[in-house]
Chain A
Amino acid sequence: MKMFSSERAHPIMIFTEFFRQIKGFIFPILIAFGLQFRSDSGIFENRYTLIITLSFLLLSILGGFLKWYFFRYDYSNGVLHIKSGVFVKQERFIKKERIQTVSYKANIFYRMLDLVTLQIETAGGYKEPEIDIEAVDRKKAEELREVLKEKLEKENLQDIVGKDYNEEDEMHTKDFTIDKNDAHKANTLKVNYKRLALAGMTSSGIGVIFSFIAVIFGQGIALIPEDMLSRFFRVFQNTGISVLISLIFMGFSLAWVISIIRFVFSYGDFTIEKRGDEILIRRGLLEQKQVSLKIHRIQGIRIVEGLIRQPFGYGSIHVEVAGGASKDDGFQTIIHPLIQKNEIPDFIKFITPERTFMNSFEKLPKRSLKKYLFRSVILLFPLPLAFYYIPTNWPWLGLVLFPISMLLGYMRYRDGGYRIHEENLIFRYRVLARTTVLLKRKQIQSLEMQTNFIQKMRNLTTPKATILTAMKSATFMVKDLTTESGEELWRWYSKKEC
């Protein structure tokens, strides 16, 4: 049995810890500086600001050093042992059997020194299911991963799936090295930069960035001297709305560019590789991340075609995975950042051959259109009233939303549908983005038919299928299918002979 004696991480960890701490402090420091500007004295003229800043820096370095100094890990006899903590000592013993996934992450410094952060996820237990081992030598990390996984593979497969464990898969795993190996080329898929840039351009992250810029801008106003500000507003008053529009436009373009850059950096070098029972996803330009997923843990596949992406025939593919999947960056597990419509069936086949993507659906009946339109505008009815009572320059604004919502309602109606194909159930619906969900009968935890009294009169029903995900569960539904469709679904899911 392989042993790893008690070890410390590479000292570069101090550096990255330092940066992480700084990241936390950056806003208070900036605000302190901002106040300084406001009071019209030089940056470091005020002694307190200087002292505070310096002590922040010193504390960060010290914090980083202590964290590194007290962090130790070792592995023996199937137990991973991690010691950490400066004041509050923490020791964790993790049995190999409890480990669900082992993934890597490497920031720019680590990459230069060929180090990685090992991310270990354990099964169950909501209290810190994830443990990071920082700055481990890449080779050692690979060895450790292999050791941790040896048993993991077998146990997981036999206990959880009850499937015959395939010896061939094991062989595959063993001869794998993290270096790109030509032998695996056939099982590897890369997404080129043109595609990534396109994905960034059409990413919905742009909204978040835009609001971020707006906030920064709002904060920035505090830094501008008062007389300049008032002059600016005088200009603004004279030229009216056009300045505001151009400002928004500028902010939007900036958000767009940042969104593209961010996307390219976090998804750069996107590689998806299939090895036996597992898929490996590597991504990131500066900070590299590697996540591995067991195919049998995939509970559902979602194809999301955003409002901007869909007209160009693009979408992204996400997976819902049972148990701990990486929830990094608030992204769900994306297995393809931007895929062209006609590539989808092949890609799905590549990921899991037992699932099929179908492009023809059992559509919604005409009579449910009325319900879709009604739902799309019902929440807007208070708006004209509000605009009537609140004096504004644009009273028509309240009405503009109606046709837009109606259009969205119509699109929701047009796109809604389902398809049953052997053991596969495919739901298609739209909230904003058109979403197609591929489900398997055996993975649906329960099926519910929801029928309100209006639906009952019109012979409509809403089926809801619940599956297991990293965040406990997710329910997918298509609203207002015909009762007959509902019954078809019911019979497909039920085991009762009828």
Chain B
Amino acid sequence: MEIDKPKEKIDPKAVTAWRVTGVVYVVICVMAVVAFFVVSYFWGPFPIWISYILSGLALVLGFLLIGIIPSIRMRYWCYEIRDQEVDIQYGIIVIRRSLIPMARIQHVDTEQGPILRYFKLATLSISTAGTTHKIPALKMERALRLRDQISTLARMSDEDV
């Protein structure tokens, strides 16, 4: 018998947010490659073909980070919050599925960087005494609601520690 996948998906806007993050990374990479190219061209400490390889790599990286990974990542990300536990599944090449009992949860936070803030998204971070689990890019209100929900549920199941 197969175990069902967690039911809920994260917000579709996450794909856009991840793409923007990808753009930021790629811009940084391109800048580094250009700098390297300029240095090798004028002062020549390294042969020029290294620069070509690096630009090729940057291109591939950009293609992956902006074009491919966000949508696949989105497709695999799912989670479910039940009365007794939080169930999370994610990953592209390596699929990770985690189960966190409510009774083990110590605190729940929401976090949000500038990009997520622009898209009105937030990351929910769930900590037990030994581990931290994150559900990225939820709708802001949803994240806050889940945070409260989890902390209430966690408190309720405290008695069986």
Residue ranges of A at the interface with B (Cβ–Cβ < 8 Å)? 160-162, 322, 442, 444-453, 456, 466-469, 472-474, 487, 490-491, 493-496, 498
Residues of A within 8 A of B93 (CB): 452-453
Contact: B1 with A487, CB < 8 Å?
yes
Contact: A446 with B84, CB < 8 Å?
no
Contact: B100 with A446, CB < 8 Å?
yes
Contact: A496 with B161, CB < 8 Å?
no
Knowing A442-B161, A495-B85, say if A452 contacts B129 (CB, 8 Å): no
Knowing A466-B131, A496-B84, say if A445 contacts B99 (CB, 8 Å): no
B128 within 8 A of A: yes
Which residues of B from 103 to 131 have beta carbons under 8 Å from A? Answer: 103-104, 128-131
> From residue A322, how far is it (CB to closest CB) to chain B in Å?
8
Residues of A within 8 A of B84 (CB): 495-496
B152 within 8 A of A: no
Residues of A within 8 A of B103 (CB): 442
Which residues of B from 69 to 86 have beta carbons under 8 Å from A? Answer: 82, 84-85
Q: Max chain A CB contacts within 10 Å: which of B1, B2, B3, B84?
A: B3
Provide the bound-state CA to CA distance between A448 and B2, in Å.
Answer: 16
> From residue A462, how far is it (CB to closest CB) to chain B in Å?
9
Chain A residue nearest to B161 (CB atoms) is A162
> From residue A487, how far is it (CB to closest CB) to chain B in Å?
5
Contact: B85 with A473, CB < 8 Å?
no
> From residue B75, how far is it (CB to closest CB) to chain A in Å?
14
> From residue B31, how far is it (CB to closest CB) to chain A in Å?
33
Residues of A within 8 A of B1 (CB): 487
Provide the bound-state CA to CA distance between A494 and B84, in Å.
Answer: 8
Residues of A within 8 A of B85 (CB): 494-496
Contact: A442 with B129, CB < 8 Å?
no
B149 within 8 A of A: no
Contact: A445 with B98, CB < 8 Å?
no
Provide the bound-state CA to CA distance between A493 and B87, in Å.
Answer: 12
Add 12 more A-B contacts to A467-B130, A487-B2 (CB < 8 A). Answer: A442-B160, A446-B133, A449-B96, A456-B95, A466-B128, A466-B131, A473-B130, A474-B130, A487-B1, A487-B3, A490-B97, A494-B99
Provide the bound-state CA to CA distance between A474 and B95, in Å.
Answer: 21
Provide the bound-state CA to CA distance between A448 and B91, in Å.
Answer: 12
> From residue A100, how far is it (CB to closest CB) to chain B in Å?
15
Chain B residue nearest to A449 (CB atoms) is B97
Provide the bound-state CA to CA distance between A450 and B129, in Å.
Answer: 21
Contact: B161 with A161, CB < 8 Å?
yes
Which residues of B from 136 to 161 have beta carbons under 8 Å from A? Answer: 159-161
Chain B residue nearest to A483 (CB atoms) is B2
Residues of A within 8 A of B130 (CB): 445-446, 466-469, 472-474
> What are 12 of the A-B contact pairs (CB < 8 Å)?
A161-B161, A442-B160, A444-B104, A446-B101, A446-B128, A450-B95, A450-B96, A468-B130, A469-B130, A473-B129, A490-B97, A491-B3
Residues of A within 8 A of B96 (CB): 448-451
Knowing A495-B84, A496-B84, say if A448 contacts B129 (CB, 8 Å): no
Q: Max chain B CB contacts within 10 Å: which of A322, A448, A468, A487?
A: A448
Residues of A within 8 A of B3 (CB): 487, 490-491, 498
Contact: A445 with B104, CB < 8 Å?
yes
> From residue A126, how far is it (CB to closest CB) to chain B in Å?
15
Contact: B95 with A447, CB < 8 Å?
no
B98: which of A162, A446, A487, A496 is its contact (CB, 8 Å)?
A446
Contact: B129 with A445, CB < 8 Å?
yes
Residues of A within 8 A of B98 (CB): 446-449
Provide the bound-state CA to CA distance between A281 and B155, in Å.
Answer: 36
> From residue A396, how far is it (CB to closest CB) to chain B in Å?
36
